[in-house]
Structure 1
Amino acid sequence: MASIEMRNIVKQYGDGFPAVNDVSLDIADGEFMILVGPSGCGKSTLLRMIVGLEDITGGDMVIGGNRVNDKAPRDRNLSMVFQNYALYPHMSVFENIAFPLRLSKTPDDEVRRRVTEAADVLELQEHLDRKPANLSGGQRQRVAMGRAIVRQAEAFLFDEPLSNLDAKLRGQMRTEISRLQRRLGITTVYVTHDQTEAMTLGDRVCVLRKGVIQQVASPRELYDQPVNLFVAGFIGSPPMNFLPATVEGRRLQTPFGTMELDDRRAAAVSGRDLLLVGIRPEYFEDASLVDEAKRPHGTTFRARVDVTEWLGDQQYAYIPYDAPEEVQNQLRELSRELDSEALRTQAIVSIDSTSRIREGRDAEFWMDSRKAHVFDPSTGENLTRDAEAGAELTRLAEEDRQEQVEEARSRGESISGDRRGADVA
Structure 2
Amino acid sequence: MAQITLNNLVKTYDDGFTAVKGISLDIADGEFMILVGPSGCGKSTLLRMIVGLEDITSGDLTIDGKRVNEIPPRDRNLSMVFQNYALYPHLTVYENIAFPLRLNRSKIDKEEIDRRVREASDMLDLREHLDRKPANLSGGQRQRVAMGRAIVRQADAFLFDEPLSNLDAKLRGQMRTQIAQLQRRLRTTAVYVTHDQTEAMTLGDRVAVLKKGTLQQVASPRELYEQPVNLFVAGFIGSPSMNFLPAKVQGDKLATPIGLLAVPDKVLKAAGSRDHVILGVRPEFFEDDDFVDDSVRAHGTTFEATPRHTEWLGNEQYAYIDYEPDPSTKQLMDELARDLDQDEMPSTVVVTIDSGSRMRGGKPGKFWLDTRLVHVFDTADGSNLTRDAEAGAELTALAEEERESEISAANG
Q: TM tier, shorter chain?
A: over 0.9
Distance 1:328 1:262 in 2: 26
For residue 328 of structure 2, give the secondary structure of its aligned residue in structure 1: helix
Q: CA deviation at 1:252?
A: 1.4
Distance 1:34 1:385 in 2: 22
Distance 1:11 1:322 in 2: 42
Q: CA deviation at 1:342?
A: 8.3
CA contact (8 A) 2:263 2:301 kept: no
In the alignment, which residue of structure 1 is the partner of 2:369? 367
Matches within 5 A, 1:292-311: 292-311=294-313
Report whether the alignment pairs 1:108 with 2:110.
Answer: yes
Distance 1:309 1:341 in 2: 23
1:9-44, Cα deviation, whole Å (9 max, x unpaired): 000011222100010000000000000000000000
CA contact (8 A) 1:206 1:213 kept: yes
In the alignment, which residue of structure 2 is the partner of 1:121? 123
In the alignment, which residue of structure 1 is the partner of 2:226? 224
Matches within 5 A, 1:156-167: 156-167=158-169
For residue 295 of structure 2, give the secondary structure of its aligned residue in structure 1: coil
Q: Which has the higher contact order (CA 8 A, sep 6+)?
A: 1
1:237 to 228, 236, 239: 239
Report whether the alignment pairs 1:55 with 2:59.
Answer: no
CA contact (8 A) 2:261 2:303 kept: no
Matches within 5 A, 1:67-146: 67-105=67-105, 106-146=108-148
Distance 1:266 1:382 in 2: 13
CA contact (8 A) 1:239 1:342 kept: no
Percent of aligned pairs sharing the same letter = 67
CA contact (8 A) 1:198 1:219 kept: yes
Q: CA deviation at 1:400?
A: 1.7
For residue 89 of structure 2, give the secondary structure of its aligned residue in structure 1: coil
Matches within 5 A, 1:32-51: 32-51=32-51
Q: CA deviation at 1:325?
A: 1.6
Task: Give the letter for the 1:83 counterpart.
Answer: Q
In the alignment, which residue of structure 2 is the partner of 1:6? 6
Relative to the length of structure 2, the TM-score reads 0.97
Distance 2:409 2:29 in 1: 14
Farther-moved stretch of structure 1 (312-321 vs 285-294):
285-294
CA contact (8 A) 2:264 2:371 kept: no
In the alignment, which residue of structure 1 is the partner of 2:249? 247
CA contact (8 A) 2:261 2:302 kept: no
1:303-341, Cα deviation, whole Å (9 max, x unpaired): 111111111111100000112123234323322331346
Q: CA deviation at 1:407?
A: 5.2
Task: Give the letter for the 1:153 counterpart.
Answer: A
2:216 to 214, 217, 230: 214
Distance 2:238 2:406 in 1: 26
Name structure 2 gaps, 5 residues minimum.
none
Task: Give the letter for the 1:22 counterpart.
Answer: G
Q: CA deviation at 1:239?
A: 0.3
Cα-Cα RMSD:
1.4
Relative to the length of structure 1, the TM-score reads 0.94
Structure 1 residues 309 and 341: CA distance shift in structure 2, 3 A: farther
Distance 1:379 1:202 in 2: 28
1:159-178, Cα deviation, whole Å (9 max, x unpaired): 00000001111011001101
Distance 2:320 2:99 in 1: 53
Q: CA deviation at 1:265?
A: 2.9
In the alignment, which residue of structure 2 is the partner of 1:399? 401
Task: Give the letter for the 2:197 counterpart.
Answer: Q
In the alignment, which residue of structure 2 is the partner of 1:346? 348
1:101-160, Cα deviation, whole Å (9 max, x unpaired): 000112111110110000011110000000000000000000000000000000000000
Distance 1:391 1:342 in 2: 33
Distance 1:297 1:258 in 2: 16
